[in-house]
Amino acid sequence: MVFDDAVWIAERCFGELGKKTIFLWKQYNVAYFGGALKPTLVLYVPTSPYGHWVGLHCRDQNIYLMFPGAKRPWGFVRGVLLHEMVHQHLAQCERDASHAGQPWRSEIMRITHLLGRDIWAGEYTVVKVAGRSVRANKKQPVGIHAQYCLNQFDISRWPHSYTKKSSWPGLEPPELEPSVYAQLKVEESTQAKAAAAPTT
């Protein structure tokens, strides 16, 4: 698949939202993955087949997102897109894409730094707490600065924050570049005028 195919399908299936989303995928691909991700379909679904996820990337397949809504504003959906793109990147590189794996933790620390913050996502392992063995994330090494130390709940839901259990406020990745969005609107207007023009 080439990028133009993904654009064509996104626009035909989901209109302006689909086209805006696939161009946002391209923007994030360049900004955070050096343009290394292979073009893929980014598709919206109205409900979650598993009842709880808000995004999904199946190995070597499409990215699925839930439609924006009252509980999932556009800023939240952008975060889900970037989350699934990390899965895509790790799967494409044939590395462990699970939330408990070192590759995932390294990637979210790297990208969060590019977004202007520093986090620590320590290895999820067994540690001793008050003499008892419990599952927890390793603390950051001495000398490693981080604004926020994420627990496994945060790590698995990055870049979002869930108030009751999160130790950090989360973040929203940037909006589509204004110049790109303006060009999309121009193209949309041109297409609409062409469709409305009388035929001879």
Strand pairing report for 55-57 and 42-45: unpaired
Under 8 Å between Cβ of 57 and 63: yes
At 77 the pLDDT is 95
Buried b (16+ CB within 10 A) or exposed e, 47-76: eeeeeeebbbbeeeebbbbbebeeebeeeb
185 against 158, higher pLDDT: 158
Phi-psi region of 123 (alpha: psi -120 to 50; beta: other; left: phi over 0): beta
Rounded to an integer, the average pLDDT of 150-176 is: 85
Q: Among 26-30, 115-119, 120-124, 185-189, where is mean pLDDT lowest?
A: 185-189
| pTM of the shown model | 0.85
At 131 the pLDDT is 83
pLDDT category of residue 60 using cuts at 50, 70 and 90 = low
Is residue 34 over pLDDT 70? yes
CA-nearest of 150, 144, 56 to 112 is 150
At 195 the pLDDT is 62
Rounded to an integer, the average pLDDT of 102-106 is: 96
pLDDT category of residue 192 using cuts at 50, 70 and 90 = low
Is residue 31 over pLDDT 90? yes
Give 108-153 pLDDT, tens digit per residue: 999 999 999 999 998 887 777 788 887 777 778 777 777 888 888 8
At 130 the pLDDT is 80
At 151 the pLDDT is 85
Helix (H, G, I), strand (E, B) or coil at 181: helix
Q: How high does pLDDT run on average in the chain?
A: 86
Is residue 59 over pLDDT 80? no
Rounded to an integer, the average pLDDT of 33-37 is: 97
